Every structure is written in structure tokens, then in C-alpha cells.
Amino acid sequence: MSDLVEVIDSRKKIDVNKIREDFPVLHQEVNGKPLAYFDNAATTQKPLQVIDALQAYYEKDNSNIHRGAHTLASRATAHFESTRNHIREFINAPSSEEVIFTKGTTESINLVANTYGRKFIQEGDEIIISTMEHHSNIVPWQMLCENNNAILKVIPIFKNGELDFEAYKKLLSPKTKLVAVVHASNALGTVNPIKDMIQLAHEYGAKFLVDGAQSTAHLPVDVQELDCDFLAFSAHKLYGPTGVGVLYGKRELLEKMPPYQGGGEMIKEVRFENTTYNDIPYKFEAGTPNIADVIAFDQALTFIKDCGKDKIHAHESQLLAYAFDKCATIKGFEPIGTADEKVSVMSFNIKNTHPFDVGIMLDASGIAVRTGHHCTQPLMDWYGIEGTVRASFAVYNTVEEIDRLYNSLVRIAKRKN
Amino acid sequence: MEDINAIQDEIIGEFEILGDDKESTIYYIMELGDQLPDFPETERKEDNIIKGCQSKVWLITNLQDGKIQFLADSNTAITKGLISLLIRVLSGRKAKDIMNADLYFIEKIGMGNIIGSQRSNGLAAMIKQMKMFALAYQSKIDA
């Protein structure tokens, strides 16, 4: 009986050692120690499948996409558009025309602010964000508010890093035209109750943008189930290449929105007297896109699918719980962000020690973490801290690596505690 | 000047013992910072911050018997350690010697590899500021 349980358990689990074989970058020494890479919330490492796809594209298929009469152009176009369709599947969008390629989450958000925002946000209208937003989900809205004389409102949070839902309810009013909130916080790991938030916003007729930069790699994100109006995320946090982002938008909104940038691809006909614009998604994709990286991203999506998102989530949750339990015993360990629902982010400080010093001491032990304000300065101000140390876990991280992190932190904490 | 170079050679010798072990080197630099004398709370102000460093570095000076004494502090232990090395070499020297000092120990101990390029810029800013103080004192003496 116990054997059977073990077999079933192993089917649910990820074979980390096998997965690690696909990531060449992990197999190196840093400062004389094996690399333990815990900076996954900044960017994940890339599996061989992605690296090979990049090389194969340049070796065999390199060509500009769309409108080409030759075979290479057709091949490149087919691969490019096939990735778009796989992204549609990945987020369960109704159609691939609602999937727009950008260069990252930041550009996706800026696109919405500069098109939907500029046209539909009027003087006195209100935009709601939260205290835990990344600068890329704050500054574009500040710029829009300044330009259109609109008002920015901020949802407060609790000490444990959870959003104050009751306060959110009170901020909503008929004046609210847009809510832009992060699904999972990059600095704290908090997962926000985004589905309920979207439903409430819609009751007031407001549109809802989800910043999915940190959630798409860890949680199921189904845009139809969530009923979000926009979703922004980046390929490079999903084991894909840098320089590729996605904006999902509901068709009726995308069609009403003016173009973002002018140029090739985004037009139907150009006359000096009058230019007509292309249909979605191309209306928002001026110029030659990042073809190679988009095509290679397809392999990252396949990698995630093969691993199984539920298994990835289970593995990362186990690592997070293990890391927190272990580190909580260290004298001077101060966790920042202890919400019930979290992605695999462990943000913390060591008492009497600057986060940068912790980072540099961990680096000397071959352990890569991020230190600083994590592009969430208002959040750090709210906590009254300069920054944190952030260890963020991915599918290829191991319990042994966390043991090394713990051992190094014990030594670091002892210096001043 | 001989004193300055003797201290530099001493530091080079200490770092040679540490060898390539980055962990020991980093911890050692931080320990050196811990040994700096306490920095006066009243001097921890904006005017005394060295510009161009990623970390906050406060630096003040005074002249004793024609020699410049440096006092410094930083909000990060690694930077405090680095500045403690500079203080060990340059504090208690004549203005002219500080201005003319060739700080070869920085390259010899492989500081660039230890702290990275961004921190190296900060270290250069610290040295520049210390030499500027020396220049200012020297101008006073010459006047």
C-alpha cells in the first residue's frame, strides 16, 4: 500500500534533477561555489529548448515576417503566429487577435495607458492602484493622470502584505474608470484576490488591468475565468527570452483603442492625405517585432506545459514553506510579507545588517538573490525600510540549495545579532 | 610618502594570505569596517555625504599638527570596510602626501573583482573626495 502511495506521489512531483539538466547556466561555479540561483522573480533561467530554438531560427529560418512571398518568410511567420496561438491557449484568451506582442510587461502597461487611457480617461476620472505596485504599474498612470487631469487612488495594505479589501471597496465609485493591480507582488509574493476585485470593479463599470508579471509563471491565469479587461506579462520571467512581452485585451476594447505607435505593420493603407489602420493585433505592433525571441518563447511555453503548472506550483510552494520555516529560526531574521496566499518569494531583512551587505555575502557563497527596493519604493516607504533581500524560487531550485542559503544566513546574522 | 607605501604593502600582504577565497575576503573587509572609530551622530548629515557612491558614505576631516585626520562611516558594512582601508593608508598624513599618493594597493589586491565595477566607481569617488580635502588644506597652508 505504501509503495502505491509513493508511486502516486512521485507522479505528482517534479523530477528536479532531470529538469536541471535542461538549464546549462545552473551548472557552474560562482566565486568557487556551485551557483544557487534565487533571483527568479527578476528573471528566470532559460532551458536548452529555448536556447536551441533561438539558434535554430537564426541558422535556418531568419526572415522578416508577414507579406513575404518566399519560403523562409512563410516559415518564420508561421512560427511567430503559432506562438501567438500558444499564448492564447496559455491564458485561455478567446482569440489570438487579442494577444499583442510588446517588449515586456512595462510596455504592455504603457500601451494601455497611452491608448485606452489617453482616449477614455477624462478629467476628474479616477484610477485605482495598490500600495504594492511595481513602478511600472504606478508611473504610467501618474503620467496619464497628469496629462488628462485624472486622479490616482491607492489601495492600502496590512502589515502582513495583504491588500485591504474593505478599503478597496470604499475607493470604488462611479468615478472609477480603471483599476490596475498586480496579481502577485514581486517584492512580497502576496497573491491578490484578483477575481473578486475584477468583479467589484465591473459593478462600477470600471475596466481592470492585471499585472501578471509575477503570477503567470506560478499560477493558473485564465483571462476568461478572471474576466479581466487587460493582462500584461513578460516572457523572460516564464523561462523565455528577454525582450518579449504580452498584452491581452478584450476585443471590444482593443478595437476601440487608438494605435500606440505609427509605422509599418500597423497600417492598412497609407496615403499622404489619410492613413487607415490595420486590424488587431497588428494595429498595436508597429515595426519589425522581436521575431527570434517570440519564436523561442514558444519552447518556454511547451516547457511549462510539460512540467505541469500545478506541479511547478506545488514544488515552489514546498520550497517556500521549507525556506520560511528554516530561516524563521535564525536570530535577527525579519520576514517582509507573510500573506496567506503567496507565490514563491521570500522577502526579508537581517537585523542590523544592510540588505546590500547580505546580498554581497551571499554572492560570495555562490548564492544569487536580489537586494534593494525591487522597483517598489512606495511599498518600502510604507514599511519604513530601505529595501529587502529577496530570494525567489523556481522549478529548478532544490531543498539542498535552500539549506545552503540557510547556512549562509546563519553566519551573516551572527555578525550583528 | 614612504609611510603610505609601507601601509599599502602591509595591506597587500594581508590580502595575499586571504588568497582567492571571496567569502573570507568579504568578511575580512567588513570586519575592518567594524573597527573604525565611532562616527559623531551630529556629523551624519547631507553635507558630509560623498556623491557618486551607491551606499551612503559620510566623510569628515580635521587638521592635527599639520596632518589630516579622516573620520568616515557608511550605511553598508562592505563600503565601511573599503573606506577603512583608505583611512588606514591616508589618515594622519600631510596634505601634500595625500595629494601625491599613488594608491596602487587597490589594483594589487584585486579590488575590482571583489566589489564589482559599480562599487569601483564609488571607491574612486571616495579617493577623489579625500584628495580634494587635502588640496583644500594645502591651499590654506600655501596662502
Angle among Cα A336, A341, A344 to the nearest 5 degrees reads 65
pLDDT greater than 90 at residue A136:
yes
Contact criterion met (CB below 8 Å) for A337 and A367 = no
Instruction: For A371-413, write each residue's pLDDT tens digit.
Output: 999 999 999 999 999 999 999 999 999 999 999 999 999 999 9
Q: Tell me the DSSP string of A326-394.
A: HHTTSTTEEES---SSB-SEEEEEETTS-HHHHHHHHHHTTEE-EEE-TT-HHHHHHHT-S-EEEEE--
Domains of chain A: 2-46+308-416 (3.90.1150.10), 51-305 (3.40.640.10)
pLDDT greater than 60 at residue B22:
yes
List of chain A residues whose C-beta atoms are within 8 Å of the C-beta of residue B54: 356
Instruction: For A41-73, write each residue's pLDDT tens digit.
Output: 999 999 999 999 999 999 999 999 998 789 999
Contact criterion met (CB below 8 Å) for A284 and A259 = yes
pLDDT mean over B56-75 = 93
Please give the pLDDT value at position A1: 47
CA-nearest residue to A412 within chain B is B27
pLDDT mean over A289-309 = 97
Smallest CA–CA separation between B103 and chain A, in Å? Answer: 24
Second-level CATH architecture of B2-142 = Alpha-Beta Complex (3.90)
Kindly determine whether residue B78 and residue A356, on different chains, have CB atoms separated by under 8 Å: yes
Contact criterion met (CB below 8 Å) for A34 and A44 = no
Kindly determine whether residue A356 and residue B30, on different chains, have CB atoms separated by under 8 Å: no
Instruction: For B80-135, write each residue's pLDDT tens digit.
Output: 999 999 999 999 999 999 999 999 999 998 888 777 767 777 888 899 999 999 99
Please give the pLDDT value at position A219: 95
Q: How crowded is the C-beta side of B73, counted as CA atoms within 13 Å?
A: 12
Kindly determine whether residue B78 and residue A365, on different chains, have CB atoms separated by under 8 Å: no
User: Strand, coil or helix: what is B51?
Assistant: coil
Please give the pLDDT value at position A3: 59
Q: Are strands A176-182 and A151-155 parallel, antiparallel or unpaired?
A: unpaired
Instruction: For A97-110, write each residue's pLDDT tens digit.
Output: 999 999 999 999 99
Please give the pLDDT value at position B1: 61
In chain B, which residues touch A (CB < 8 A)? 20-23, 25-27, 30, 54-55, 75-78
List of chain B residues whose C-beta atoms are within 8 Å of the C-beta of residue A33: 23
Please give the pLDDT value at position A7: 52
pLDDT mean over A172-181 = 98
Please give the pLDDT value at position B120: 76
How many residues comprise chain A? 417
Q: Average pLDDT, whole number, for chain A?
A: 96
pLDDT greater than 70 at residue A366:
yes
Nearest to A367 by CA among A334, A390, A395: A390
Instruction: For A196-252, write each residue's pLDDT tens digit.
Output: 999 999 999 999 999 999 999 999 999 999 999 999 999 999 999 999 999 999 999
Q: Strands (DSSP E) along A31-92, which ranges? A: 33-34, 36-37
Kindly determine whether residue A354 and residue B55, on different chains, have CB atoms separated by under 8 Å: yes
